[in-house]
Amino acid sequence: MYISRSSGTKSWRNEFLSCNFPQNTGRDVYTRIVLFNIFAAVYIFAAVPFGIFNIVRDRFIIAAMLFAGVIIIIGTRIFLSTTKNYQIAFIVVAFTMALLLLSTYITGGINNNGPLWFFAYPVAVLSLLGPKMGAIASLSLIAISLLLCVHPFSLIMRTFYAPDFIFLHFCSYLIVFILAFSYEFQKQKDRKEIKELKGLLPLCSFCKKIRDDKGYWEQVDVYIHKYSDADITHSVCPECVKKHYPQEHAEIESRKNKE
């Protein structure tokens, strides 16, 4: 049996990006799965060399956090491919990201640049979890980071941030969150307004009416207008013109013959 290289590449790409989810998976879920896999690949390829770099520089705590994140991401992807339970997988990823960001916030990361990684969090979790759960996760992260700067929680901090830096960081984070939330909220709203016809449509063999999901029979044009974005305009096909308007049909044919 011969398998072309292009089909093998396409199959591998589909397995990597969609975790072999069935083709009838909803567009929204499929998009989130692809985003998760892209995030996972970017994080792994960035975290591994960065972790090795930190080991060389004797920053073992930061390296351990990075490698722990890699292990959790790989385990979550295996869980997603095996169980197809994307809700749990995305929650685990969001929780892991929050722990890693809080860890870099407490330690300061490299040259106290740890808080700068926070700005990627709202964009990622809102894309994966949706507006509601993503907003809860995003606001929880920034709220916890603010609590860590207040006594007695500040006792666990391993670095110091100036008050003006904390204020600017908080305001900048909120701006990113508001923009990301507005985009995801509008996208979800638009998706709900988009209607698509899918699956099998029960069609009467005689009157050609279509039965909807509530058991009511409707004309084809009414049904299409109701369950899609299409507008129906009525016309008459040549066979029906011949059947119902024979005189007009004869005139049309004679005109054609003259031409």
Whole-number Å distance between alpha carbons of 146 and 144: 5
Residues 203, 220: Cα–Cα separation, whole Å: 9
| Mean pLDDT per 10-residue section of the chain, whose length is 259 residues | 47 66 70 85 86 84 85 90 87 90 84 87 92 94 92 85 92 96 87 62 81 79 70 78 83 78
Amino acid residing at 187: K
User: What is the three-class DSSP state of 218?
Assistant: strand
d(CA 45, CA 178): 29
Contact 132, 189 (CB under 8 A): no
Helix (H) or strand (E) holding 168: helix 163-193
Q: What is the pLDDT of residue 126?
A: 93
Rounded CA-CA distance 215/256 in Å is: 46
Tell me phi and psi for residue 217, to 5 degrees: -100, 130
Q: Which residue has the tokens 């396409």?
A: 10
pLDDT at position 168 is 94
Judge if pTM exceeds 0.85: no
Backbone angles phi, psi at 163, to 5 degrees: -55, -40
Please report the pLDDT score of residue 198 as a whole number: 61
Helix, coil or strand: residue 1: coil
Structure tokens at 240: 């029906």
Cα separation of 164 and 98, whole Å?
Answer: 23
Sign of the CA dihedral with 22 first, then 29, 90, and 115 last: positive
Question: Would you state the pLDDT for residue 114?
Answer: 83
What is the Cα–Cα distance from 237 to 243, expressed in whole angstroms? Answer: 10
| Contact residues for 165 (Cβ-Cβ < 8 A; gap 6+) | 115
- Signed CA dihedral, 146, 148, 151, 157: sign only: negative
pLDDT of residue 179: 96
Domain boundaries defined on the chain: 5-193, 200-228, 233-259
Q: How many CB atoms lie within 10 A of CB 52?
A: 13
Tell me what pLDDT residue 23 has. 59
